[in-house]
């Protein structure tokens, strides 16, 4: 009932003309609304869900129109004070979103659950989901889609040009690396055993862009490994992107809190762990910056030091 009441207030305050809108029927699948295939240019109340979506709204100069954002968008983008926190992109609270009277919900492909997306669609809320995927081409595709959805095509082209310049500079630095370094990327979901990023993951894409050899390339997706199996991969450095740590080296005490088994291993693994910003795997316009942070850590290891800057 609250959802319905919120939807009625929303529709009476800002009715949605479905004619001529670009509507994404589900995340990653684009379907043109009747009468046209372009989004209306002026979205004045935007709810942003997902880190890359938050970065893109900021990069395209639309942050002032954001009235709500999920936790990952708030962490990734510099949004104004007073933006409502609407939870997390993978578990969107429909009532919370509708109560903000958005004329656009702008989200990454992780938007869920499916029931929430279906509810938003049935209430007439315009939802645009960015293309899925990892790596540079995926970021370019999201920039293009964001430009169309937000009516900011020229700004999107400028952002894409800036991305290309950053990538060229990154490639120049990678080319001059002393040697290739063996690296791993780990996640800790819900306090459980660490997951290792194998092929087909955002972690693989960032490591490759930075010039690393991903020790887990023989694995597919994110895999949970035993301590013995992880050690057998023999990484020279391991990266963790977590809000629990400031970027830099993870000390032994912090590692013990994160993964007691790793901290208790006979080998001192703490010097090999480097913390990165939580948005490092977000797949937004900041990809070159995060890949550069990885590259710099790899260079320090290649020259005989630890992965973290001193």
For 25-37, the pLDDT digits (tens) are 345 333 333 333 3
Contacts for 86 with CB less than 8 Å, ≥ 6 apart: 47, 49, 68, 69, 70, 92, 93, 96, 97, 100
Tell me, yes or no, whether 206 and 287 share the same domain: yes
Tell me, yes or no, whether 146 and 29 share the same domain: yes
| Domain count across the chain | 2
Task: Please tell me the predicted confidence (pLDDT) of residue 270.
Answer: 63
Task: Please tell me the predicted confidence (pLDDT) of residue 191.
Answer: 58
CA distances to 62, 142, 242 from 185, rounded to whole Å, are 32, 24, 11
In a domain, residue 111? The reply is yes
Tell me, yes or no, whether 128 and 273 share the same domain: no
183 CB-contact burial (10 Å; exposed 0-12 / middle 13-18 / buried 19+): buried
Ranges of the chain whose pLDDT falls below 70: 1-43, 189-192, 266-271, 305-310
- Residue 107 belongs to what domain range? 2-158
Tell me, yes or no, whether 211 and 86 share the same domain: no
Tell me, yes or no, whether 154 and 41 share the same domain: yes
Task: Please tell me the predicted confidence (pLDDT) of residue 307.
Answer: 53
Task: Please tell me the predicted confidence (pLDDT) of residue 262.
Answer: 73
């Amino acid at each position: 009932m609250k959802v319905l009441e919120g939807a009625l207030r929303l529709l009476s305050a800002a009715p949605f003309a479905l004619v001529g809108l670009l509507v994404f029927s589900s995340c990653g699948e684009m379907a043109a609304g009747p009468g046209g295939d372009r989004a209306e240019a002026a979205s004045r109340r935007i709810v942003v869900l997902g880190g890359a979506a938050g970065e893109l709204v900021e990069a395209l100069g639309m942050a002032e129109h954001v009235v709500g954002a999920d936790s990952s968008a708030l962490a990734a983008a510099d949004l104004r004070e007073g933006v409502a926190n609407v939870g997390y992109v993978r578990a969107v609270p429909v009532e919370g979103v509708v109560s903000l009277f958005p004329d656009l919900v702008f989200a990454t492909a992780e938007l869920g659950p499916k029931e929430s997306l279906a509810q938003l669609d049935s209430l007439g809320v315009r939802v645009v989901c960015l293309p899925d995927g990892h790596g540079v081409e995926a970021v370019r595709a999201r920039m293009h889609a964001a430009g169309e959805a937000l009516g900011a095509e020229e700004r999107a082209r400028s952002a894409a040009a800036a991305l290309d310049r950053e990538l060229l500079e990154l490639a120049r630095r990678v080319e001059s690396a002393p040697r290739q370094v063996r690296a791993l990327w780990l996640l800790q979901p819900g306090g459980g055993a660490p997951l290792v990023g194998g092929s087909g993951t955002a972690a693989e894409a960032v490591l490759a862009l930075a010039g690393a050899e991903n020790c887990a390339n023989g694995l597919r997706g994110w895999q949970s490994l035993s301590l013995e199996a992880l050690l057998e991969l023999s990484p020279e450095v391991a990266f963790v992107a977590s809000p629990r740590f400031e970027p830099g080296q993870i000390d032994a005490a912090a590692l013990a809190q994160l993964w007691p088994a790793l901290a208790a291993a006979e080998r001192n693994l703490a010097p090999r762990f480097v913390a990165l910003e939580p948005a490092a795997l977000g797949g937004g316009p900041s990809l070159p910056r995060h890949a550069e942070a990885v590259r710099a850590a790899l260079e320090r290891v290649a020259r005989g030091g630890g992965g973290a800057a001193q």
